[in-house]
Amino acid sequence: MEYQKTFGADEEIRGADLPIDLKLPAKRILDAGELRVTAVATHHGDCPSVAYRVDSNNESIVFSGDMDASALPNLIGLAKGCSLLVFHCAVLDPPNSPTLLYSLHTAPKHIGEAARDAGVKRLLLSHIAPDVEAASRSVLQSIQASYKGPVGFAHDKLRVRDVSALR
Ligand SMILES: [Zn+2]
């Protein structure tokens, strides 16, 4: 029963309400000594969505999740000065992706501006759509027009052991 060590035993699950209204402030949802997790509402079409920041010792990683550009002020606030921002990159700059997708995802130009405005130390792109992968050079150029730090493309099964070693 490797998938669940407590199989058959009593379990306790503690839930936390997540901030899903863009007007709500970021909320600390876990405070376990060195490990702290903070959530803030983002926006993904008509689905509630949330970005997370994980702080541990001197490192901090922010996960955008799926979000469109309307939630960037919240994301920028959450990501201020973080070690690594993992941002979903599923669309090309307008008008090169279907219009509907811009109400779900953030374009590279705005990803770069957000990374710059938040002063993040590194940017890792994830949730990479095939057309984004095929245009990776222009995606990178669009981001680097505003963000001057290191930018990487994530790939399946990527493990980051040392954030500062990530290029
Ligand atoms: Zn998506």
| Residues of the chain scoring pLDDT < 50 | 1
11 CA to centre of ligand 1 in angstroms: 32
104 CA to centre of ligand 1 in angstroms: 7
**Where exactly are the structural domains of the chain?**
32-155
Q: Specify which residues 18 forms β-bridges with.
A: none
36 CA to centre of ligand 1 in angstroms: 26
User: What pLDDT score does 1 carry?
Assistant: 47
106 CA to centre of ligand 1 in angstroms: 10
User: What pLDDT score does 30 carry?
Assistant: 93
User: What pLDDT score does 160 carry?
Assistant: 82
User: What pLDDT score does 16 carry?
Assistant: 84
pTM value is 0.90
What CATH code would you report for 32-155?
Answer: 3.60.15.10
66 CA to centre of ligand 1 in angstroms: 5
The torsion angle over the Cα atoms of residues 40, 42, 46 and 48, rounded to 10 degrees, is -20
User: What pLDDT score does 80 carry?
Assistant: 98
User: What pLDDT score does 23 carry?
Assistant: 94
